[in-house]
Amino acid sequence: MKKTILLAAFAVLGLVSCNNEGTAANTVSSMKTPQMENFDKAFKSLGEPQNRPTEEERKRNTSELSDRRKALLVPASKELILSTGVTEPEMMRKTGGDMSQIIVWATQIYMKKSDEIRNNIKTDK
């Protein structure tokens, strides 16, 4: 009798465990931090009507994103940098508040985190 109950308990455990595997959908999107999601949204927002390049911006002879549009990426970039434990003063000291430096730093963090998530998914499978 004891054995049967034990067996049943294990069976239930097994079922629960398998069930969890299905519900915890292991996708990159579901494993992202809110800061990463906001970083993604900021990049997508560059295509919104009010954020598209203006005639003036399109006449420039540089490939670098314009300052107006860089500013759209800065808040999410800062959030992402701070989420790694870096303090605001540290961030400002390292970048001098320069938008390009902040965005590029955040992008490096983002790529690293996104690679880690991809690798985790691979090893889980």
Partner 1 sequence: MKKFLTILGIAAFVFGYSQNGTLIVNNYTPYDFSGYIMANNFAGGCYPFLTSSAPDMVTVPANANMGNGNELRYENYKDQYTSSLYPISQWYVQSSSTISVLRPWNHAAIMPGGTISNNTKWSATKFNMKYAGTTNGVPGFSNGLTLAGNTSCYTAPDYFDMTSGGVTNSAEIFTLTSGGINYTYIQLYTF
Interacting residues toward partner 1 by CB under 8 A: 27-29, 32, 37, 39-41, 43-44, 46-49, 52-53, 58, 60-65, 70, 98, 100-101, 103-105, 107-108, 110-111, 114, 117-118
Nearest-approach distance from CB 29 to partner 1, in angstroms: 5
Dihedral (CA of 6, 11, 17, 19) sign:
negative
Toward partner 1, which CB reaches closer, 17 or 50? 50
Toward partner 1, which CB reaches closer, 7 or 28? 28
Nearest-approach distance from CB 75 to partner 1, in angstroms: 15
35 torsion bin: left (phi>0), alpha (psi -120 to 50), beta (else): alpha
Toward partner 1, which CB reaches closer, 29 or 87? 29
3-state helix/strand/coil string of 75-114: HHHHHHHHCCCCCHHHHHHHHCCCHHHHHHHHHHHHHHHH
